[in-house]
Each structure stands twice: as structure tokens, then as C-alpha cells.
Homo-oligomer: A and B are copies of this chain.
Amino acid sequence: MAKTPTDFQTLRDLATRIRIHSVESTAAASSGHPTTSSSIAEILSVLFFRTMRYKVSAPRDPSSDRFILSKGHAAPALYGAWVENGVVQESDLKKLRQLGCDLEGHPTPRLNFIDVGTGSLGQGLAVAAGMAYLGKYIEEATYRVFCLIGDGESAEGSIWESVNFASYYHLDNLVLILDANRLGQTRATMVGHDLELYKKRLEAFDFNAIIVDGHDVEALVKAFDTAATVKGKPTALIAKTYKGRDFPNIEDKENWHGKPLGGETERVIKHLKSLIKNPGKLNYTIPAPLSEVPAVNISNIKLSSPPNYKQGQMLATRQAYGTALVKLTESNPRVVALDGEMSNSTFSEAMKKYGPTNFIECFIAEQNLVGIAMGISCRDRTVAFASTFAAFFTRAFDQLRMAAISQSNINICGSHCGVSIGEDGPSQMALEDLAMFRSIPGSTVFYPSDVVAVERAVELAANTKGITFIRTARAPTAVVYPNDQIFEIGKSNVVFSSPKDQVLIIAAGVTLHESLLAAKQLANSGVAVRVLDPFTIKPIDKIGIVKNARECGNKILIIEDHYPEGGIGEAVLAALAEEVNIYVKHIAIPRVPRSGKPADLLNYYKIDAKNIVNHVDEVIRK
């Protein structure tokens, strides 16, 4: 394993081959990033053919070392490495970026050797830190995690959230490689080649930081070997590299970002081929994992006991979240809660009793929080539930967007939704969370209206692929459902009805409770309305809604504690797009709200029982 001059020459030749793949594949695609690929060629050859322990036969084997290319636009180099180790066909690489070819512009897990999609910069390190946390604290495994970031992306704050997390948790099984190739898209990066500055910053964040010539395979081998011996802190390799390395007249020059080499291709390929010392089959051994991790089963996880409440009892939906997590953990020890230093508000604190295997404090850094959840849930090793105030998940929208591309299975619980939180005011109120989570492809959006529903939502979420979101509320509301109520994704429940209903009210959370009060009041005055709890906002129960609307004179009133756009109202309207003759009135929070007592705010924004009575009256008169 690379101790002799011959071995080092093999690594050099592999780096050059990776460069050739990068130039040829982007030339074939007429787009892409050969110069960015070139700066990391030696780093990849050393990682993939000397340092990393993994199974070529099973690229996502859970015992193997992990690698994340955070600078996803250098995908051609990564694909080139997987051509060299025999997993990708060279002929496929010529179809780079074509529809139907999984070798896309940026890596996605459509490829069997990719864990998460990258391409939105600054996100890979959080995922890598999650993987390293998993290996160190949950699995106590020997695998290590390598994450390669670009220098430009080190300006992303998310990188520093993850750096902070990694050193705080002493993730000595994590190696960050900073590819300092000096050039961004339009100009030099903020730090350029002042590598000492990176070192100073990373050391200030308690990393072991090593400056290394990123084009010297021998120096890289040595640096990675050193990293493996450092205990108690993560290591960063600050690699001095050049964009377009070994592309004569292109190397280290501006205006070559994100361009295939065009008319220069042939000339560069010729030069690169001239650098190869051994054009035949190369002799190397990819080291196997040091040990095997056991198989784990995270499917079909059930609550250890059913919900145990009394109808009418006053409890906040957020309270049941922690209870449900504990019940899941009693059934399966691989359930892990993560929180953004809000655990006594979100109620994830119930999980703290299990210690670091089942509760990860991620502090006030929501981007990293979501990334860590993605990292620990890769390769189906855990079921992750991340929580904070629902409003603050807007901080991680880009991570959530990338989680969908990453085919991540992560569960999010956002508490403190809507104006009903009261006095803390608009900065703390989630009023766009449904819009955000609905827009994520393949997501499942739960809006449980009582504690029984929350427990079942958490249970369903644990067994649902993709991104799930559970919206919980701050204030206590009455228990609506019996403990044996059955909940299904995409299936609504009618909670108040009569045979002569004139309006179908659709509401969830606090507005469901206000609607129930209104319905009872209206019933007393001889006006019959039906109240429907959608339970999931995505998928929305189209069949149930249409059926009930038809039975209620084709009139729907939607009441929600959310901005008008993207919430329950638009979910229902989307379901009804191809239906005609159904009238829909939609009441939501029309503008930035104010602080105030919850009841005052519900009244002010016309979503309390008293106002619902008036809305019903208007709808009936239509």
C-alpha cells in the first residue's frame, strides 16, 4: 500500500488518468468542470487507491469508509476514480450529463457509490460529520469519513457550523480535505493561496490542521497517515492545488471555470497521456474495512405502547412528540433524536435519557442539524428525527431541498407553528413551513391535531421513506381522538358531522379545535356543518375531501394558521383543480402578524370560533 516509489508512481498515474477521464467526459458532454476536477486528482487517487478502506464490490457497504465530494461540480474526477476501480464503465462516462445516464452533472445517489447529492456548496461536511458521529458514538465502528470541500465553499457558514460540531464532538474519525485551488467562478477566492489563514481558522475551531501539497501523492499519503493517528479531534488537510492542474496554458488561469476544454481538448489530452509512466494495468490493492459492522433493521418500527390519553384532556401536540420518540426507541434502539438547542420546547428532551446514542444536541445551527440527520441516516443505519421551532427550519431549506435529491430518509418535527404561539411574535411563528415542506419532492407532511394523532404521525414517519415533516403547536388543545383511532397517510378524518351539513370546514391544529367549537355553536343554532381533519397535508386526501364536499352542498371553508400561500388551502385547491362546481373559501394569516395573547391573535386574524361562525354564514349565503 504505497510505500515504494513504484506505488507512488501508480498513484500519480491514477491521478493523471482521472484527469484524462475528466477532460474527455466533459468534452463529450460539451459542458461541465474539467479544471475543478483536475485540482483534486491526486487527492482522489490517494484516497481511493491507498487510504480509504472499502469494498469495491459493495460501494455502499456499511462497514466501509465514506467519502463525500462536497464540491459536487468536480463530479467527473470522482466518476473517473470509480472508472479506475472498475465500478463505472468507461463507456458510460462518455454519456456524462445525458438524460438517462446516472453520471449526472453533480453526483446523486442514483449512483450506487454516492451517499448524498452534492452541488449546492457547503453541505457535504455536515453529512460527513453525521456519518462520523454515527461511526464513533452509535456504531463504535472502525470506518472513517472523508469529506472534500472546495475553497470557495468555505465561505458558506454551514461549513463552520459543521467544523464547530465536528470538533465539539471530537470526531477524530473525520478528515476534511480543503481543496485550495485559489480560483472561484469569476475571480480569486476570499483567501486565495494564503493557506496559513485556513490553518489558523481551522485550528481556532479545534481541528488538527495540516498544510499539504495537494499534487504530491507522497505528501498526501503521509498527511492522511498522520490524520489516522490523531485522537480526540478531527483533522483537516489544507491542500494547495491548482485549478486545471497539468492542463498547459490553462492551469491556474482565470476564465476557465465550468467549461469543457473545447478546442484545447486534444492538446491537453496529449500532454496528459505523456505524463503517464505506466500505460498498462496498474498494480494496487484497495484495503478492506478493518472490521464489519453488524446488520441493523430499521423497518416496521412500532410504538411500544398505544397512545394513552383521555378525550377532552388539554395537551399541546408538541408534548406527545417526545413521548412517541421514546416509545419508538423502546421498540428499536436505532431511533435517534437531534435538536437545535430547543429540546425542552420541542419535547425531544425526553430522548436525552438514552445518552449520545439516541440524542444529539446540535445547538443553534439548523443547517448542520439537518445535515447531521442526513449523515446518520445514510446506508439505513438509523431513523433520524430532527426538531426545533418550525420557523427555524427555513434556515435549512437548501439542505432539505438537497435531502430530497439525496434520497434521504429523515424526519423533521417543527414546533411552535402559527400565530397561536402568541407573545413571542412573528419571528418565532412558523407561517410558511407547510409551503416549504410541501414543495419538497416526495415529502410527507403531517399536521396532527391532537396528541393521539401526533404519536401515530411519529410512528408513521419512522416508517416512511423520504422527507417527513410533523407540525406541532405550542398551546394545549383538547384530545379529540380515542386512543385506538387509526391514522393513515393521505386519509382524512371527519370529526364532526350530520346528515344535513351545509358546509365542509377543513382545518388542522388550533383551527380544527376552533372549528369544532364553531360547529357545535352553529349546531345549537340549527346550522349543520361538517369538520374534516386532513391529518396529512401532503398527500392530501383528495377522495375524502371531494366526497365530503359533495355531501356538504359543494361548499368548503378552509381555516388555517399559516400564510395563504402553500398551506392547507392551496393543497386542497390543488386536489380540486379538475373538479368543477365546488366553491372554496380560504381564511389564513394575510400579513406579518404581531405579538399578543394567543386568543387575541386568533380573533384578530379571524381564525377563532367566533369568526368561523361568521365565515360559515358567508359561505352559506354564496
Query: Which residues of A line the B interface, CB within 8 A?
Result: 29, 31-32, 72, 97-101, 104-106, 108, 110, 117-122, 152-153, 155-161, 164, 168, 184-187, 189-190, 197, 200-201, 203-205, 341-345, 349, 361, 363-368, 391-392, 394-395, 397-398, 401-402, 404-405, 422-428, 431-432, 435-436, 438-442, 538, 554, 563-566, 569-571, 573-574, 576-578, 580-586, 590-592, 594-597, 600-601, 604, 622
Contact = CB atoms under 8 A, between A and B. Distances in A.
Contacts of A72: 427
A442 B589 CA distance: 12
Contact of A157 (B117, B118, B158, B604): B158
Contact of A427 (B118, B157, B601): B118
User: 8 closest A-B pairs (Cβ-Cβ)?
Assistant: A157-B157, A119-B427, A99-B596, A104-B595, A105-B425, A432-B439, A97-B423, A204-B204
Given A566-B439, A592-B404, A596-B100, A574 B577 contact: no
B391 A120 contact: yes
A581 B565 CA distance: 23
A146 B622 CA distance: 56
A577 B566 contact: no
A121 B364 CA distance: 8
B152 A190 contact: no
Contact of A439 (B31, B365, B427, B435): B435
A574 B564 contact: yes
A583 B582 CA distance: 11
A585 B29 CA distance: 35
A101 B600 CA distance: 12
A328 to B, nearest CB: 22
A99 B364 contact: no
A402 B342 CA distance: 20
Contacts of A156: 157, 161, 364-365, 395
B392 A120 contact: yes
A514 to B, nearest CB: 17
Given A423-B29, A439-B432, A578-B585, A185 B342 contact: yes
Contacts of A591: 441-442
A444 B205 CA distance: 41
A279 B277 CA distance: 87
A565 B99 contact: no
A116 B590 CA distance: 20
Contacts of A101: 595
Contacts of A438: 435, 565-566
Contact of A341 (B184, B365, B428): B184
Given A343-B186, A574-B586, A435 B596 contact: no
Q: Which of A365, A422, A574, A577 is packed against the most chain B CB atoms within 10 Å?
A: A577
A582 B442 CA distance: 28
Given A155-B364, A577-B585, A583-B578, A97 B596 contact: yes
Contacts of A367: 157
Contact of A578 (B185, B187, B345, B584): B584
B157 A106 contact: no
Given A106-B425, A566-B439, A398 B405 contact: no
B118 A594 contact: no
Contacts of A441: 431, 563, 590-592
Contact of A577 (B155, B189, B363, B586): B586
A395 B402 CA distance: 11
Nearest to A590: B441
A45 B46 CA distance: 58
Nearest to A401: B394
Contacts of A585: 577-578
A156 to B, nearest CB: 6
14 contacts: A97-B423, A99-B595, A99-B604, A105-B427, A118-B427, A153-B364, A157-B367, A186-B342, A187-B341, A189-B363, A402-B427, A436-B439, A570-B573, A577-B585
A157 B152 contact: no
A391 B397 CA distance: 10
B155 A363 contact: yes
Nearest to A395: B398
A186 B164 CA distance: 19
Contacts of A398: 366, 391-392, 394-395, 397
Nearest to A102: B594
B425 A108 contact: yes
A101 B604 CA distance: 14
Contacts of A160: 157, 160
B120 A427 contact: yes
Contacts of A201: 201, 204-205
Given A186-B343, A395-B398, 11 more contacts: A97-B596, A99-B595, A100-B596, A120-B391, A120-B395, A156-B364, A156-B395, A185-B345, A397-B397, A436-B436, A439-B565
A326 B52 CA distance: 51
A565 B563 contact: no
Contact of A164 (B161, B190, B200, B426): B190
B436 A597 contact: no
A349 B601 CA distance: 46
Contacts of A104: 425-426, 594-595
A439 B430 CA distance: 11
B580 A582 contact: yes
